[in-house]
Amino acid sequence: EAEPMRLDMEELLYDAGVDIVINGHVHAYERSVPVYNACLKECAPNYVVIGDGGNYEGASTQWIQPPPWSKVRESSFGVGFLTIINDTHGEPPHA
């Protein structure tokens, strides 16, 4: 499911100048560095998967080795905080 979604959405998000994409569903947590087409790119979006709220299926533990653009990747349950400093800066949670 992930690759077809990336192919459908990634260029649109990049062209629109999106800074951050927050999504869920994977029962784990991941935060990226700016990435476009699997390459590090300074002006690309940062992605945050916040699916670690948990459910009866348990945390996702079948993740492959993290790619170079993955800043934090963990199979855990919890909550996240994003502090908005101003209209150009945010502070991610500390991992």
Residues 28 and 66 sit within 8 Å (Cβ to Cβ): no
Helix (H) or strand (E) segment spanning residue 72: strand 70-74
Residue located via tokens 């670690």: 52
User: CA 11 to CA 21: how far, in whole Å?
Assistant: 13
pLDDT number for residue 95: 47
Please state whether beta strands 90-91 and 83-84 pair in parallel, antiparallel, or not at all (unpaired).
antiparallel
pLDDT number for residue 54: 66
Return the percent helix, strand and coil in the chain, to nearest 5. 15, 25, 60
Domain chopping of the chain, boundaries: 2-91
- Mean pLDDT split into 10-residue runs, the chain, 95 residues: 86 94 83 93 91 72 81 80 77 59
